[in-house]
Amino acid sequence: MNCDDCVRLLERYLDRELSDQDVAEVKRHMKLCGSCENRFHFHAELKRLVRVSCCRGEAPESLRARLREILPTRANS
């Protein structure tokens, strides 16, 4: 596995969506590659912060309005 492969699989790795074989390969690569390991830690912390921030109750109106602007409505689906 090279860095491009690892980066491509990183989100699925963090979401526990990889096969056991792919998990083993990603882990093996990160043991040898500090850059990919750092990227993993960054993304893991980012996901943690988003999860913690989203569990605080209702989203601010400004965020909800922005999401309504950029996300398609069900009527358009």
Per-residue pLDDT of 5-45, as tens digits, reads 999 999 999 999 999 999 999 999 999 999 999 999 999 99
Residues 6+ apart with CB under 8 A from 37: 30, 31
How many structural domains comprise the chain? 1
What Å distances lie between residue 27 and 7, 13, 34, 62, CA to CA?
12, 9, 12, 39
Query: Model confidence over 44-67: pLDDT tens digits?
Result: 998 888 877 776 667 778 888 888
Give the angle subtended at the CA of 31 by the CAs of 28 and 36, to the nearest 5°.
95
Closest CA to 46 of 15, 16, 22: 15
Place of tokens 């792919």: 22
User: In which domain, by residue range, is 71 found?
Assistant: 3-76
